[in-house]
Amino acid sequence: MAKLQQRLEQKQTIQPQQILQATILQLNAVNLEERILEELESNPALDQMEGTTEPEEETTDEDGLDWEIEYEYEPPNVYEKKEYKDMPILQTKDFVESLSDQLNLYDFNSKERAVAEEIIYNLDENGYLAVDLELISDRYETDLMDVLSILKTVQTFEPSGIAARDLQECLLIQIDKTEYPVAYKLVHEYFDEVANHRYEHLSQKAGYSEEELKHALEVISHLNPKPGAGHEGAETISVIPELIVYTRDDNWVVVVNDSWLPEVQVSREYVDMLAGELDKKTKSFIKEKVDTAEWFVDAISDRRKTLTRVMQEIIKRQPEFFEGNIDQLKPMKLQDIADAIGVDVSTLSRSTRGKYVDTPYGIYELKSYFTEGMLTTSGEEISTLQIKRLLKKLLDEEVKRHPYTDEKLKDLLNKQGYPVARRTVAKYREQLHVPVARLRKQI
């Protein structure tokens, strides 16, 4: 028979306001605006303040002391979200519409045009056909050879190389067989050797001189492997900095770039209602809404303060960078900043993820200031970012006929005082998006 027992235990629980605070902190400015508008719509106890308030400045002096000051003038490069409703906008066609318009140049009947449109609407972001021709053939009850014929017509559209089914076909479409017969043959008959840079026996197998091969490979290197990328209609990502940093009177000024966001406050009407005579159910509902509104306003304020403190500490710990030596970053971890400003490292991670700062030297992601450290043979601690830059320099200056292997790169770095292992070189090379030596080899 089960017995009833009492047990006393301590257990940590996350309060609703803590969850809200963490959620608000990790949002970027654009997503925060959406969240504010959603909250205004769903919570009647939250009001939008009339008018706009200028953003607060935080100034760091030479001794690292911070204080709030009155906002005296508009700081440079304050980003605002503006809508120009009365301004005439140039109407541009997107990528698919441009291809569809080219169909008008051909004498297609209604069924053939439908097949051609099906091909165009099944191109991926790089301009490749992302569906099997057999499926199109079955859908429109059309002979496969007729679908293939229509595909060949679409492949003559601009940009050249569009609607290919693979990379080899994409390159063949772009090569004028009459003008560049050697390049065409290399792609058509020796594609694997060309794609994998296996040039050692290619001259002998293809029957061409080294000079002919070199010219043909030069032609191939200028072809576009992604004819659909970068055209109008492709997704464009724009960055709105969360912070703006500039100097005034030899001090660094940190501005949180959120002056264009809706300012919110707890509704005074609902607070007054809470103090009146209400039934229990109504009072519970209003209290819940007022509490949530207060937490929301506090979370936005805490977000602003946390971002400011993080940026001030970064400026203090990266003096070389903010003196203009942007290649000189000191080793710095998230835990270092978290300990300095007295927050949990997870909180700091949320505040730096996907956030950008506008500095006099350009726009940088906050997390780019955090790098691991390594001791050189002389005992100096340097950032791994410096090693990556040196590795990039070695790769750029290598002789392409005989590119450096990872082992050779390791030896070169070791000779310059950087004791890295071969696997570390391979990791950094991959982070630089540089292929292995075999794929970098050129004639």
Whole-number Cα distances in Å, 230 to 42, 227, 302, 308, 420: 39, 8, 39, 36, 38
Domain assignment present for residue 279? The answer is yes
State the CATH number of the domain containing residue 427: 1.10.10.60
- Rounded to the nearest angstrom, the gap between the alpha carbon of residue 279 and the centroid of all alpha carbons in its chain is 52
Closest to 117 measured CA to CA, from 136, 92, 132: 136
The predicted model gives 368-393 an average pLDDT of 77
d(CA 58, CA 248): 11
Residues 409 and 305 in one domain: no
Domain assignment present for residue 7? The answer is no
Q: What is the pLDDT of residue 297?
A: 93
State the CATH number of the domain containing residue 147: 1.10.10.1330
Highest mean predicted confidence (pLDDT) among 70-79, 204-213, 285-294: 285-294
Other beta carbons within 10 angstroms of residue 175's beta carbon come to 23
Residues 197 and 135 in one domain: yes
The predicted model gives 202-208 an average pLDDT of 78
**107-138 residue pLDDT tens:** 888 888 889 988 988 888 888 998 888 888 88
Residues 358 and 278 in one domain: yes
Q: What is the chain's Cα-based Rg?
A: 31
pLDDT at 76 over 50: no
Domain assignment present for residue 229? The answer is no
- With contact defined as beta carbons under 8 Å apart, do 418 and 378 qualify? no
**244-269 residue pLDDT tens:** 999 998 899 999 998 888 999 999 99
**Rounded to 10 degrees, what is the CA torsion of 15, 20, 21, 24?**
170
Report the chain's mean pLDDT, rounded to a whole number.
81
The predicted model gives 227-249 an average pLDDT of 74
Torsion sign across C-alpha atoms 116, 121, 125, 129 = negative
**146-164 residue pLDDT tens:** 999 999 999 999 889 999 9
Residues 169 and 210 in one domain: yes
Q: What is the pLDDT of residue 300?
A: 93
Q: What is the pLDDT of residue 31?
A: 87
Residues 141 and 206 in one domain: yes
Residues 105 and 215 in one domain: yes
Give the pLDDT band of residue 83 (cuts 50, 70, 90): very low
Residue where one domain finishes, among candidates 328, 351, 369: 369
d(CA 294, CA 360): 36
Domain assignment present for residue 85? The answer is no
Q: What is the pLDDT of residue 309?
A: 93
Coarse DSSP helix, strand, coil percentages of the chain, rounded to the nearest 5 percent: 50, 10, 40
**What angle is formed at CA 376 by the lines to CA 370 and CA 377, rounded to 5 degrees?**
170
* Residue 372 vs residue 302, higher pLDDT: 302
Residues 399 and 322 in one domain: no
Q: What is the pLDDT of residue 207?
A: 80
Residues 277 and 300 in one domain: yes
Determine the structural domain holding residue 399 and report its residue range. 373-440
Residue where one domain finishes, among candidates 188, 221, 254: 221
Least confident of 189-203, 304-318, 325-339: 189-203
User: Is 372 exposed, middle or buried (CB count within 10 Å of its CB: 0-12, 13-18, 19+)?
Assistant: exposed
Least confident of 186-200, 297-311, 370-384: 370-384
Residues 317 and 423 in one domain: no
Domain count along the chain: 3
Domain assignment present for residue 106? The answer is yes
Task: For residue 256, list its beta bridge partners.
Answer: 243
In sequence order, what are the residues at sequence separation of 6 or more whose Cβ sits closer than 8 angstroms to the Cβ of residue 73? none
Domain assignment present for residue 384? The answer is yes
Domain assignment present for residue 227? The answer is no
- Put simply, whether the predicted model's pTM sits higher than 0.85 gets the answer no
Residues 335 and 397 in one domain: no
Residue where one domain finishes, among candidates 221, 249, 272: 221
Closest to 352 measured CA to CA, from 340, 339, 364, 342: 364
Residues 339 and 381 in one domain: no
Domain assignment present for residue 354? The answer is yes
Q: What is the pLDDT of residue 253?
A: 92
Residues 180 and 100 in one domain: yes
